[in-house]
Amino acid sequence: MTKEFAKKRIEELNKLTKYHAKKYYDEDNSEISDFEYDMLMVELRNLEAKFPELTDKESLTQNIGGTVKEGFQKVQHSVPLQSLQDVFNEEELYAFDNRIKKVVNEDISTNADLEREIKYVVETKIDGLSVSLEYENGEFVRGATRGNGQIGEDITENLKTIKSLPKTLKDNIDIIVRGEVFIGKEDFEKLNMEMEEEGQKFANPRNTAAGSLRQLDSSIAASRPLDIFIFNVQKCDGKEFKSHYESLKYLEEIGFNVNPIKTLCNNIEEVIKETARIGEGRGELPFGIDGVVIKVDDLSLREIIGTTFKTPKWAVAYKYPPEQQETTLTDIICQVGRTGVITPMAILEPVVVAGSTIAKTTLHNQDFIKEKDLKIGDRVLIQKAGDVIPEVVKSLKEKRTGKELDFEMPKTCPACGAVAVREEGEAAIRCIGIECEARNARNAIHFASKAGMDIEGLGEKVVVNLLENKLINNIADIYYLKQEDIASLKKDGQKFASNLIEAIEASKNNNLDKLISALGIRHVGSKAAKTLSKKFRSMDELMEARLEELIETDDVGKTTAESIYAFFKQEQTRDLTQKLKNANVNMEEQSEEAKDLRFEGKTFVLTGSLTKYTREQATEIVESFGGKTSSSVSKKTSYVLAGEEAGSKLTKAEALGVNVISEEEFEELIK
C-alpha cells in the first residue's frame, strides 16, 4: 500500500469512526453493529501502526469517544474512565499475555517472581452505558456518565431510579466505583412489545439504556427496566486491596450488584478456555454481552504495567463476532399497531440463533426492505442485535433461483381496508381508518381525553375494559352505552355508571372544535380544530371542504390539509360521523361569528406571567376579534403581549422590532 493511499484511507476512517462514535456515544442511536465499528477501528489502528507519521492527534485510536450532552452538569472524574483495547482471537490473547510478562519480568522489583504465571480475572463485557458512582459515608451522592473519560454528565437523579443500585451501603465508606447500566433481555423484549403497540420499536438494549439515562426528565428513566452491574473500584478511602478479585468480593459484601460472571484464571490458557466457554453459552445469558474483559488480577502488577491516556495496558476486551445463521424468508406479512402504523414482518423458516429459535422479525418499513434488497423466498442471513433482537442482515442474492417474489407495502390497511398513507418525509405507512379494529383502543382513549371530548371518568382502563367486554366497538358506541352495561364492569358500580352516563351526555353539548380534535385526525391539534370549527361552522361543511380551502386555512398548511381531506373522504369516517349525529352529538360551531374583526390578520404571541388573564382567556379574546395567537416570535408577529418575567421571546421581539405591549396596553386595544 502506498503512503498516499494510506493517507486517504486514514482520513476516510477518521471521518467514519467519529461519525459512528457520535451516533453511539452521544445520540444513543448507532447505525452499524458493534462488530462493524470494531472492524473500522482495527483497520485504522493497523494503518496508523504502519504509517505512524499519518496518525491524527484527534483520531479515536488516541481519544475516548463521547461528549457531554447539553443540559447536564459536567462532572470531572477524579479517576479517568478509560476504554479498552480490543482483541479478536487467541493469537491476540497470547500476544497480550506475552506483553504483560515482558513488562513485569523487565522490572527489577519483580525478579523474585520471574517464573510465576500471571493471574487474570475474566468478566463478561456487558453491553450498556458505563457510569461512575460516588458514595460518601456509605451514601450515594453522585453518578456520572463516562463522557470523554475525563469529564462526564451528572445523571444522579436518573441513576436513583434504578432499583438494583444501592442508595446506602453496608459500610460507611467513601468510595467511587464503576458500573454498567443495561436492560436485561427479557425486560427489553417486554418493553419492545409495549412500544410495538404504539407503532415504535427500540433498536437494541444498549441504545435504550443509554438513551433512558441521558434524559433531562428522570421519569423517563424511572419508566424503563434499567439494571446495573458494578465491575471496578475506582477509588476507595481507608481500604486497600491486593487483587481485583478481592475488591469485587468486597463490593458484593457491602451491597453492590456485581457482575455475576467473574472467573479468576491462573494463566492465559485458562483465560482462553473461559473465554470460549462464555462465548458458547452467551445466548443463554439473561443480559446482552459483546465480549469478555480480561484483567490482570494483581493490583501491584498493574502499577508496573501502566496505562496509556486512553487504555490500561493491563486489560483487554475480547470481542465475539455476532452469531449469524442462514434461513429462508418464506413470507412478508403486515401488522397494524395502535397508532395505525403498518409494519412489515419477515416470516422465516425457524432457525436457532444465539440460543433461541427465530421464526419472525420486523422489517421496519418499505425503505428497509428496499435497502436490503429483500424478496419473498430469499435465503437470508439472520443475527441478533445485541444478542437480543433478531434482524435480517442481508439477502444472499447469489442463491436466488428466479422464483423469488418482490414485495410492496399495501395501499390499504390489512386490518380494516381503509386507505394506507405515507406522508412526505416519513418512512412509516399508516392506516387512517377511524373504525380500524387495531386502532380502536387508542382512538377511544384519545376521544374521551381532555384533548378530545373531555368525558370525566372515561379513562384508559375503563375504555380498555369496555372494548374487552365488547360493550363498544368504536368511539360512536360510547354514546349508546347503557347504565347497566357500565355498572356490570365494577362491583357496586351503579354510582360510577350513573356519573359516567351523565358525563357522556354532557359531552354531547361540546362545541364543534372539541369533536374535531377528538377524532384524532393526524396533525390536527386543539388550535387547528378551533380554527377549522370557526371557519367551516359545521361538521358537514368541513367534510365537504375542498383541499384548496383547507390549505388556505390558518394553522393548517399543506400536510395537515391533505391529512384532513383524506380522513373525511373515508367511508369509515362518514359512517362514524353519522352514528355520532344520530346520537345527538353537537355538529355545529356554537359561538357567533365575530362582527368586530379589529385583529383580523394580526398575530399575537403571549409570554411571561399574565396577572389579569390566563393564557386561555387572552387567547379567546384575541380570537374573538378575528386574530390568532402563535407560540413563536417572527417578523410576521403583530404584537407580543409580555407579562412578568418574560424571557427569550421578549428578547427576540425587541431584536426584531416587534411591537411589545403590556396587559394595560392590551386592555386599551380591546376596549
Q: What is the rounded (10 degree) CA torsion for 395, 399, 405, 408?
A: 10
Bridge partner list, 121: 264, 295
Distance CA 518, CA 516 (A): 5
Q: What is the biggest distance separating any 2 CA atoms in the chain, rounded to whole angstroms? A: 101
- Amino acid identity of residue 306, one-letter, is G
Distance CA 195, CA 388 (A): 16
- Strands laid side by side in the 603-607 sheet: 628-630, 603-607, 639-642, 659-661
List C-alpha distances in Å: 353 to 15, 274, 332, 390, 524. 33, 21, 20, 8, 44
Cell reading at 438: 387495531
How would you class 524 by CB atoms within 10 Å of its CB: exposed for 0-12, middle for 13-18, buried for 19 or more? Answer: buried
Distance CA 43, CA 95 (A): 18
Number of H helices, E strands in the chain: 24, 22
Considering 15, 57, 119, 125, which one is annotated as catalytic?
A: 125
SS3 of residue 194 by DSSP: helix
Distance CA 354, CA 214 (A): 29
The string of DSSP letters for 325-353 reads: EEEEEEEEEEEE-TT-EEEEEEEEEEEEE
Query: Which residue matches cell numbers 372515561?
Result: 458
Helix 3-21 / helix 34-50 crossing angle, nearest 10 deg: 150
Distance CA 78, CA 330 (A): 56
> 315 near 296, Cβ under 8 Å?
yes
Q: How many CA atoms lie within 13 A of 50 on its CB side?
A: 15
As a whole number of Å, the CA-based R_g of the chain is: 31
Q: What per-residue string of b and e applies to 91-107 under the rule 16 or more CB within 10 Å gives b?
A: eebeebbeebeebbeee
Cell reading at 604: 399575537
- Strands laid side by side in the 85-87 sheet: 85-87, 315-319, 289-296, 120-126, 262-265
- Amino acid identity of residue 94, one-letter, is Y
Instruction: State yes or no: is 125 an active-site residue.
Output: yes
Q: Helices in 214-297 by DSSP H: which ranges?
A: 218-222, 244-253, 268-281
CB atoms within 10 A of CB 396: 13
C-alpha closest to that of 587 among 521, 526, 509: 509
Catalytic residues: 125
